[in-house]
Amino acid sequence: MPATTKTNFQLVINGILKENPIFRLALSMCPAVGISTTMMNGLMLGIAVLFVQIFSSCTISLVKDYIHPRIRIPTYTLVIATWVTVIDLTLAALAPVAYKQMGIFIKLIVAFAIITMRLEVFACKNTLWPSFWDGVGMGGGFLFGMLTLGFVRELLGAGQLFGYDVLGFRPLLFFALPVAGFFCVGFLMAAFNYIEIVYNKRKKAVN
Contacting positions for another protein (CB under 8 A): 37-38, 41, 67-68, 70-71, 74-75, 78-79, 81-82, 85-86, 89-90, 92-94, 96, 99-100, 157-158, 173, 176
Give the C-alpha distances (Å, rounded to integers) separating 147 from 29, 32, 76, 96, 130.
14, 10, 27, 23, 25
Write down the least CB distance from residue 184 to another protein, Å: 15
Give the amino acid at 30: C
Q: How far is the CB of 87 from another protein (least distance, A)?
A: 9
Q: Looking at beta carbons only, is 100 or 202 nearer to another protein?
A: 100
List, in sequence order, every residue forming a beta bridge with 161; answer none if it has no partner.
164
* Residue 134 Cβ vs another protein, minimum distance, rounded to whole Å: 23
Nearer to another protein, 2 or 69 (CB): 69
CA–CA dist 150, 156 (Å, integer): 10
Distance CA 153, CA 145 (A): 12
Bridge-based pairing of strands 160-161 and 164-165 is antiparallel
Residue 64 DSSP label: G
Nearer residue to another protein within complex by CB, 102 or 136: 102
State how far the Cα of 128 lies from the Cα of 144, in Å rounded to an integer. 24
CA-to-CA distance for 137 and 4, rounded, in angstroms?
14
Whole-number Å distance between alpha carbons of 130 and 60: 12
Nearer to another protein, 1 or 94 (CB): 94
Q: Give the list of residues 6+ apart from residue 168 with CB closer than 8 angstroms, or none.
A: 159
**Shortest Å, Cβ 86 to another protein:** 5
The least CB distance from residue 55 to another protein, in Å, is: 12
- As measured in angstroms, the least distance from the Cβ of 179 to another protein is 12
Q: 159 near 36, Cβ under 8 Å?
A: no
Closest CB to another protein among 14 and 36? 36
Nearer to another protein, 6 or 72 (CB): 72
